[in-house]
Structure 1
Amino acid sequence: MIKRIHVLEDDEDIRYIIGVLLKDEGYELQLSSTFTELKEKLKDSVPDLFILDVMLPDGDGAEICKDLKSDLFTKHIPIIVMSANDQNKELSITAGADDYISKPFDIDYIVKRIKKLLEK
């Protein structure tokens, strides 16, 4: 069964790179650039994993993580939070993130982390 990953990233280039990378790995993707857009897409389908950026135009990735982990329909879904600022790591883990990846990231590293979470 193909796993679906929802990527919430406002940087178009990073969103594109992650999208190409994950499609090459055989994942189905949902891409959003804002939290509002993510919420709209969740009405249609729920992913198997979320990847959230921290700095977004309409929210903070750690707070969004907390919201998703407190929602009955999404609390069971693994979340990876990404940030260029390592000070966000503790905040993200405290908010319920299952993993944290620093930007810039190594492509092989992110794929390994995704596979590990999806195999649980």
Structure 2
Amino acid sequence: MTKRIHVLEDDGDIRYIIEYLLKDEGYELQLSSSVSELKSKLRDSLPDLFVIDVMLPDGNGIEICDDLKSDMFTRHIPVIVMSANPRSKQMSSQVCADDYISKPFDLDDVVNRINNLLVKRTA
């Protein structure tokens, strides 16, 4: 069964790179560029994993991660937080993010981290 990943990233270039990379790996993608768009899409279906940027036009990825991990319907879904700000790593662990990716990122590392979290989830 194809795994679905929801990517919340406001930078169109980064979103495109992640989309291309993960589709090439066989994943189904949901893409959002804002918190409001994410919330709207979550009404339709839940993904198997979230990749969330911290700096967003209408919110903060750390707070979104905290909301997802506090909600009974989404707390079981792995969340990867991405940021160029080194302080975000500590903050993401405080809200129970499953992993943290520092920008700029290595493409192979992103794929490996996503694969590892999805394997853990299905095991």
Normalised to the residue count of structure 1, the TM-score between the two structures is: 0.99
The yes-or-no answer on 1:107 pairing with 2:110 is no
Aligned to 2:50: 50
What is the correspondence of 1:59-78 to structure 2 with a 5 Å cutoff?
59-78=59-78
Give how far 1:84 is off: 0.5
Give how far 1:96 is off: 1.2
Partner letter of residue 60 of structure 2? Answer: D
CA-atom RMSD in angstroms: 0.5
What are the ranges of 5 or more consecutive residues in structure 2 without an aligned counterpart? none
Give how far 1:86 is off: 1.1
Give how far 1:14 is off: 0.2
Partner Cα separation in structure 2 for residue 14 and residue 30 of structure 1: 14
Partner letter of residue 37 of structure 1? Answer: E
Give how far 1:92 is off: 0.6
| Alpha-carbon displacement from aligned partner over 1:49-68 (angstroms, at most 9, x marks no partner) | 00000000111111100000
Runs of 4+ in 1 over 4 A off after TM superposition: none
Normalised to the residue count of structure 2, the TM-score between the two structures is: 0.96
Give how far 1:110 is off: 0.4
Partner Cα separation in structure 1 for residue 38 and residue 11 of structure 2: 15
Partner letter of residue 118 of structure 1? Answer: L
Number of residue pairs the alignment of both structures matches: 120
**Partner secondary structure for residue 21 of structure 2:** helix
Give % identity: 72
**Partner secondary structure for residue 72 of structure 1:** coil
Aligned to 2:10: 10
What are the ranges of 5 or more consecutive residues in structure 1 without an aligned counterpart? none
